Amino acid sequence: MFILEFIIVTLLVYLFYYLFMINKYDDDGKLKPKKEHKFIGKVIEKIKRFLFGPKDEKDEILLRGRKNKKIKEAKEDIKIPTEVEILIAKYHIDLSKINYKDLLKIVGKTCSIDIGLIFTIIDIVPVENIYIQLFIGFLLIIPIILISYAILGNYFKKKGLVVKNDKGNKKSKRNRK
């Protein structure tokens, strides 16, 4: 029974992760351009202007339809998901050696397994109080995520997908001088 719950929750979480996170990016790690609905956008802009009015010059420029270059450039910045940022910062993953979409798929599978595992553990605990179950869930989140990211970091290290540290070479050059 618990295995079935684990599988269902894991599949549902991965499906949502795939639809709302992985599907946004292309293979190079850049956001895919959004399809804008011009009619709906104009209607929403007119409703906003009617209800709230322009707040300042930037809003006035956006409401008129003339886009400010600075605002447009700020929206086009590459946004990396937090999970990937953690892997890059802690385990020095080299994005040039791995396909970005494949990395997102691996991270998505790991996160969905984590959530399914936490949900299953909470369901196994024989406590009827929802607040105690939530407390147990919050206590389990951090250790399970840290363990799973450590496993992922070791996996990437064995595959050779990490940036090699050149600190040892720099120290030896300093000692020679």
> How many Cα atoms within 13 Å fall on the side-chain side of residue 174?
6
3-state class (DSSP) for residue 174:
helix
87-102, pLDDT tens digit by residue? Answer: 888 988 888 888 888 8
Distance from C-alpha of 108 to C-alpha of 22, rounded to nearest angstrom: 8
51-80, pLDDT tens digit by residue? Answer: 766 655 555 555 455 444 444 444 445 577
| Sign of the dihedral through C-alpha 51, 56, 62, 65 | positive
pTM above 0.85, yes or no: no
Q: How far apart are the first and last CA of the chain?
A: 67
DSSP 166: -
What is the chain's length?
A: 177
